[in-house]
């Protein structure tokens, strides 16, 4: 396949931060913790967004939440995603971030499609209540701007095909002073099914003056170049494509630099990446643990969910896979990784294939009367989440 022609390749500018390549690791709850981000950052440049933090938990100084806000010493910009539905609570959370210098960039989550969130009017349901959306974004921007901390929003196309909000919400966010708008080209009803609508991303890019970031279905580096060529976006946001494949960030940097991609890793190289990932998670959990033994066990437990993604397509027996997905220590991991055939070539048939969450479309649960309440700017009751992550 010939490389797509990319119109304009410039560093991505978010406030005063200039980032090359114009690549963002999508926030993924339960995944993009400090250990995983370090692993990805070792591969290539970009913005690497922390797991989602809820504004209520931050304002209440929830200890688990405060531990989740962790960055590497050399991580710049320190990028944090907040989830909130109440402008005042969001502003209070942003003020804490700014006053305590917890982050250099704040992203607001308006993309979450899970029923627990949308049935209370939060996440991807919220932009529908357009006045509240505008008020919320403005509250965050006003609280962050005195410190020069840029605020961005990440959203979906809308609730479903009959209730699209993205252009109107993008313009409102721009008016409120955001530094960029990211669009995942799916509706809430689509969840993670079907393909992302890159035409919608192109339409948003046409409509806005602030940088637009495109999100959805970047599985390989070529996909990122194709998205830029198709939509003209200023940067790409990569989620599931890097699950079990953190080297995607090296490929993306090479692709944006116009260098050839690295050759695909053998199973031995994948095993070394798995070891590095587990080690970084153990470091992360040990830092927040009472004992090193506890930290090692918790780090290994966090690593387990990644095993199947790393081994996807490799001829590895189910018993070994099962054992790897139950590790409790790095020594156990070393022992099991030693049983893999290091010369096994990469399963090329898996290239470009969807990974991670691919669940089917579903009904979007909304608060009663939600669709009839576009201009109601009251905060939906009970929509704040007390707990971060998910
Ligand atoms: C496990 C998982 C957790 C996610 N958590 C968040 C989140 O906390 N905040 C958010 O804005 N999006 C979240 N997302 C959505 C991703 O950021 C991204 O928008 C989506 O996966 C589409 O991009 P992709 O096709 O590159 O995966 C999550 C996705 C997955 C798979």
Model pLDDT, residue 187: 97
User: Residue 242 catalytic?
Assistant: no
**Which stretch of 113-122, 128-137, 381-390 has the lowest confidence by average pLDDT?**
381-390
Is the pLDDT reported for residue 299 higher than 80?
yes
Together in a domain, 175 and 312:
no
Cα–Cα dist 223/229, whole Å: 10
Residue 390 covered by a domain: no
Residue ranges lining ligand 1, Cβ < 6 Å: 26-31, 52, 81, 109, 111-112, 154, 184, 215-218, 238-241, 356-357
pLDDT of residue 1: 47
Q: Indicate the SS3 state at residue 120.
A: coil
Residues 98 and 136 in one domain: yes
Residue ranges making up the domain that contains 286:
267-343
| For residue 390, pLDDT beyond 80 | no
Distance CA 340, CA 39 (A): 21
Q: Which two three-digit tokens encode residue 250?
A: 């090296």
Which one from 50, 112, 242, 300 is the annotated catalytic residue?
Answer: 112
Whether residue 195 is found in the same domain as residue 336:
no
CATH number for the domain that contains residue 272: 1.10.1200
Nearest atom in ligand 1 to the alpha carbon of residue 182 is 19
Q: How confident is the model at residue 5 (pLDDT cuts 50, 70, 90)?
A: low
Do 176 and 255 sit in the same domain of this protein? yes
Q: Which atom of ligand 1 is nearest to the CA of 240?
A: 27
Q: Is 379 inside a domain boundary?
A: no
φ/ψ of residue 213, rounded to 5: -110, 135
- Whether residues 253 and 219 share a domain: the answer is yes
Residue 386 lies in a domain: no
Write the residue with the smallest CA distance to atom 6 of ligand 1: 28
The count of domains in the chain is 2
Q: What is the pLDDT of residue 289?
A: 86
Q: Is 325 exposed, middle or buried (0-12, 13-18, 19+ CB in 10 A)?
A: middle
At residue 383 the predicted structure's pLDDT band, cuts being 50, 70 and 90, is confident
Residue 50 falls inside a structural domain: yes
Is the confidence at residue 196, as pLDDT, over 90?
yes
Mean pLDDT for the chain?
A: 94
In a domain? residue 205: yes
Over residues 46-86, the pLDDT tens digits come to 999 999 999 999 999 999 899 999 999 999 999 999 999 99
* The pLDDT value given to residue 354: 87
Q: How confident is the model at residue 290 (pLDDT cuts 50, 70, 90)?
A: confident
Same-domain pairing of 220 and 324: no
pLDDT for position 357: 78
* Whether 334 and 220 share a structural domain: no
Residues 51 and 138 in one domain: yes
How many Å lie between the centroid of ligand 1 and the Cα of residue 239? Answer: 6
What per-residue confidence (pLDDT) applies to 386? 74
User: What 8-state DSSP symbol labels residue 301?
Assistant: H
Confirm whether 4 is domain-assigned.
no
Average pLDDT over residues 173-201: 97
How buried is 332 (Cβ within 10 angstroms: 0-12 exposed, 13-18 middle, 19+ buried)?
A: middle
Establish if 323 belongs to a structural domain: yes
Q: How confident is the model at residue 304 (pLDDT cuts 50, 70, 90)?
A: very high
Tell how far the Cα of 31 is from the centroid of ligand 1, in angstroms: 10
Shared domain check, 272 and 149 = no
Ligand 1: which of 23, 24, 25, 27 to mutate, most ligand atoms within 8 Å of CB? 27
- Is 321 contained in some domain? yes
Q: Extract the annotated binding site.
A: 27-29, 81, 154, 184, 239-240
CA dist., res. 99 & res. 114, Å (int)? 32
What would the 3-class secondary structure string for 65-78 be?
HHHHCCCCCCCCCC
Ligand 1 centroid–CA 336 distance in Å is 30
Domain match, 99 and 31 both: yes
Annotated binding site for FMN: 27-29, 81, 154, 184, 239-240
Tell me, in angstroms, the distance from the centre of ligand 1 to residue 51's CA: 10
Does position 275 have pLDDT exceeding 90, yes or no?
yes
Residues 126 and 239 in one domain: yes
ipTM: 0.99
| Same-domain status, 367 and 289 | no
Q: What is the mean pLDDT of residues 150-163?
A: 98
**For 219-230, how does the pLDDT look when each residue is reduced to its tens digit (9 = 90+)?**
999 999 999 999
């Amino acid at each position: 396949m010939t490389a797509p022609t990319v119109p304009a390749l410039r560093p991505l500018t978010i406030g005063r931060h200039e980032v090359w390549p114009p690549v963002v690791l999508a926030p993924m709850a339960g995944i993009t913790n400090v250990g995983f981000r370090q692993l990805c950052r070792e591969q290539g440049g970009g913005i690497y967004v922390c797991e989602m933090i809820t504004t209520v938990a931050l304002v209440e100084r929830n200890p688990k939440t405060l531990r989740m806000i962790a960055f590497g010493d050399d991580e710049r910009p320190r990028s944090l995603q907040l989830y909130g539905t109440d402008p005042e609570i969001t502003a209070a959370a942003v003020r804490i971030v700014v006053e305590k210098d917890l982050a250099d960039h704040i992203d607001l989550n308006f993309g979450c499609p899970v029923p627990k969130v949308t049935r209370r009017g939060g996440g991807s349901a919220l932009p529908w209540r357009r006045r509240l959306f505008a008020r919320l974004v403005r509250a965050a921007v006003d609280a962050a701007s005195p410190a020069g901390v840029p605020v961005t929003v990440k959203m979906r196309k809308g609730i479903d095909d009959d209730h699209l909000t993205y252009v109107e919400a993008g313009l409102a966010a721009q008016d409120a002073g955001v530094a960029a708008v990211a669009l995942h080209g799916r509706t809430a009803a689509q969840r993670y099914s079907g393909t992302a609508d890159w035409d919608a991303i192109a339409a948003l890019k046409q409509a806005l003056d602030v940088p637009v970031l495109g999100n959805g279905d970047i599985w390989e580096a070529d996909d990122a170049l194709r998205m830029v060529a198709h939509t003209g976006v200023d940067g790409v946001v990569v989620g599931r494509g890097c699950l079990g494949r953190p080297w995607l960030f090296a490929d993306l940097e090479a692709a944006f630099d116009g260098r050839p991609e690295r050759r695909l890793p053998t199973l031995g190289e994948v095993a070394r990446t798995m070891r590095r990932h587990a080690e970084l998670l153990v470091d992360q959990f040990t830092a927040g643990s009472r004992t090193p033994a506890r930290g090692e066990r918790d780090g290994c437990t966090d690593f387990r969910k990644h095993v199947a993604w790393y081994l996807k397509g490799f001829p590895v027996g189910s018993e070994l896979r099962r054992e790897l997905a139950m590790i409790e220590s790095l020594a156990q991991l070393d022992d099991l990784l030693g049983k893999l055939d290091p010369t096994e070539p990469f399963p090329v048939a898996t290239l470009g294939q969807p990974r991670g969450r691919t669940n089917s479309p579903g009904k979007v649960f909304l608060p009663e009367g939600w669709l009839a309440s576009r201009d109601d700017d009251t905060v939906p009751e009970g929509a704040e989440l007390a707990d971060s992550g998910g």
